[in-house]
Amino acid sequence: MDQPSGRSFMQVLCEKYSPENFPYRRGPGMGVHVPATPQGSPMKDRLNLPSVLVLNSCGITCAGDEKEIAAFCAHVSELDLSDNKLEDWHEVSKIVSNVPQLEFLNLSSNPLNLSVLERTCAGSFSGVRKLVLNNSKASWETVHTILQELPDLEELFLCLNDYETVSCPSICCPSLKLLHITDNNLQDWTEIRKLGVMFPSLDTLVLANNHVNAIEEPDDSLARLFPNLRSISLHKAGLRSWEDIDKLNSFPKLEEVRLLGIPLLQPYTTEERRKLVIARLPSVSKLNGSVVTDGEREDSERFFIRYYVDVPQEEVPFRYHELVTKYGKLEPLAEVDLRPQSSAKVEVHFNDQVEEMTIRLDQTVAELKKQLKTLVQLPTSNMLLYYFDHEAPFGPEEMKYSSRALHSFGIRDGDKIFVESKTK
């Protein structure tokens, strides 16, 4: 059988991990594995291989000498072959079957859709626990074959594969805990529910960028489909109804949710989005990556009551009544303007005269003197100013620092400014 053209796995391995490119490092925990078999390749004693091999974007098209792979890679546990030119599953099988300790395999962005994965080839993957097939355009038939032959698979990545539907295999995969299936074209919940049938032990489901338009499932059915789901990402889903958010309460073990970028929340402020969602999801302890503290939950639930207090009864969500039972019916909070006062109406006293005027509090003492110059008929250099707080028990305070801002005196409406001449 002719060897496929292009660069082989072994060729790239020898080039990348030769002593010139990957020097030996001594010290505790820093050693590298050198196979001990005496009849190996002459390259054996000159290669320094870690247990994690990263050979992405190297133009690999085939395996190369299988005996060499077995000699060098007996200890390898993680292998990244993403963004290469592997298009034949038989070549992938030749590599993987000679890496007996392999638990993590990344085959992303290889054109493996150009060949059919046979069960005999998939059997060589049997020890893999984490498999990445992003942007490989792997068909569901290929995925089913893999699931049949990987009894210990725990994490599967199927992103960017242009899936519009989900095809269920004849048997389920009870070992899988985490599924990343982001950036596909899955919009109907009838497709998403099949994932629950396929993976009954699923703990984490990442559906970001799929534009799922609704969660159309009875509550009891959701609990049966996803009995162990702890975390779900619906980032940039197409959800437009609060009923869809309420449906998340039907997952019996759900603790973590991501809901950024959904149409439903676009009209709300950042504060409203977070608080209204937290209040509707009493069991969720982490929202959009941030922990929900007990204090934040109580604040959110009280906010929820006040938010809906004046809404017509027929439009009030059921959660509102649950929270009123918990906290009572709360009145809206009084609006308090905490912005600093920008101006004040004061009395200006000079030469036994009194004038009422409005002064800006963001100006300095020197600028106030300029404002008073025409009124009191004194040059600013000959002017003394005193501030008198009508509510304070103390006497007037001299305003002697020209650069001091007026707001720092705490001037309010009704206070007095006394003007005297230095030469008086």
Give yes or no: residues 311 and 379 share one domain: no
Q: Quick check: is 76 in a domain?
A: yes
Give yes or no: residues 251 and 354 share one domain: no
Helix (H), strand (E), coil (C) string for 253-268: CCCEEECCCCHHHCCC
Eight-state DSSP code of residue 380: G
Domain-terminating residue out of 292, 327, 362: 327
SS3 call for 275: helix
Distance between CA 373 and CA 219 in Å, rounded?
A: 77
Task: Say whether pLDDT at 128 is over 60.
Answer: yes
Q: Quick check: is 281 in a domain?
A: yes
Give yes or no: residues 285 and 353 share one domain: no
Give yes or no: residues 113 and 239 share one domain: yes
Task: Say whether pLDDT at 34 is over 50.
Answer: no
Q: Span 398-424, mean pLDDT?
A: 89
Give yes or no: residues 180 and 297 share one domain: yes
Give yes or no: residues 357 and 301 share one domain: no
Give yes or no: residues 310 and 353 share one domain: no
pLDDT digits (tens, 9 = 90+) for 350-371: 998 999 999 999 999 999 999 9
Q: Quick check: is 189 in a domain?
A: yes
Distance between CA 306 and CA 148 in Å, rounded?
A: 53
Domain-terminating residue out of 278, 300, 327: 327
Give yes or no: residues 388 and 270 share one domain: no
Q: Quick check: is 34 in a domain?
A: no
Beta bridge partners of 398: 386
Give yes or no: residues 290 and 412 share one domain: no
Torsion angle (degrees, nearest 10) of CA 405, 406, 410, 414: 180
Which of 418, 276, 249 is CA-nearest to residue 348? 418
Tell me, what CATH number does 183's domain have? 3.80.10.10
The Cα-based distances of 14 to 18, 36, 141 in angstroms read 6, 17, 35
Question: How many alpha carbons lie under 13 Å from residue 262 in its C-beta half-sphere?
Answer: 28
Residue position matching structure tokens 């005496």: 38
Q: Quick check: is 337 in a domain?
A: no
Give yes or no: residues 206 and 299 share one domain: yes
Q: Span 140-155, mean pLDDT?
A: 95
Of the pLDDT bands very low, low, confident and very high (cuts 50, 70, 90), residue 33 is: very low
Helix %, strand %, coil % for the chain, to 5? 30, 15, 50
Q: Quick check: is 408 in a domain?
A: yes
**The total number of structural domains that make up the chain:** 2
Phi first, then psi: give them for residue 420, nearest 5 degrees: -130, 160
Say if residues 254 and 246 touch (Cβ distance below 8 Å): no
Tell me, what CATH number does 405's domain have? 3.10.20.90
Q: What is the pLDDT of residue 171?
A: 87
85 CB neighbour count, 10 Å cutoff: 17
Domain-terminating residue out of 297, 327, 357: 327
Give yes or no: residues 188 and 149 share one domain: yes
The Cα-based distances of 133 to 80, 149, 156, 176 in angstroms read 11, 16, 8, 15
Q: Quick check: is 32 in a domain?
A: no
The pTM assigned to this predicted structure is 0.74
Q: Quick check: is 411 in a domain?
A: yes
Residue position matching structure tokens 């958010």: 245
- Strand ranges, E, within 153-292: 155-157, 178-180, 204-206, 231-233, 256-258, 286-287, 290-291
List, edge to edge, every strand of the sheet that includes 52-54: 52-54, 78-80, 104-106, 130-132, 155-157, 178-180, 204-206, 231-233, 256-258, 286-287, 290-291
Domain that holds residue 135: 7-15+47-327
- Which DSSP string do the residues of 311-375 spell out, in sequence order? S-GGGS-HHHHHHHHHH-PPPPPPP---SPP-EEEEEEEETTEEEEEEEETTSBHHHHHHHHHHH
Q: What is the pLDDT of residue 35?
A: 44
SS3 call for 218: coil
Give ∠ CA 382-388-372 in degrees, rounded to 5. 35
Q: What is the pLDDT of residue 2?
A: 47
Task: Say whether pLDDT at 28 is over 70.
Answer: no
Q: What is the pLDDT of residue 38?
A: 42
Of the pLDDT bands very low, low, confident and very high (cuts 50, 70, 90), residue 331 is: confident
SS3 call for 178: strand
Q: What is the pLDDT of residue 407?
A: 87
Q: Span 34-50, mean pLDDT?
A: 52
pLDDT digits (tens, 9 = 90+) for 272-287: 999 999 999 999 999 9
Q: What is the pLDDT of residue 25?
A: 43
Which of 291, 284, 296 is CA-nearest to residue 254? 284
**49-53, 309-313, 331-335, 415-419: segment of lowest average pLDDT:** 331-335
Distance between CA 392 and CA 414 in Å, rounded?
A: 12
Give yes or no: residues 262 and 384 share one domain: no
Task: Say whether pLDDT at 382 is over 60.
Answer: yes
Say if residues 358 and 345 touch (Cβ distance below 8 Å): yes
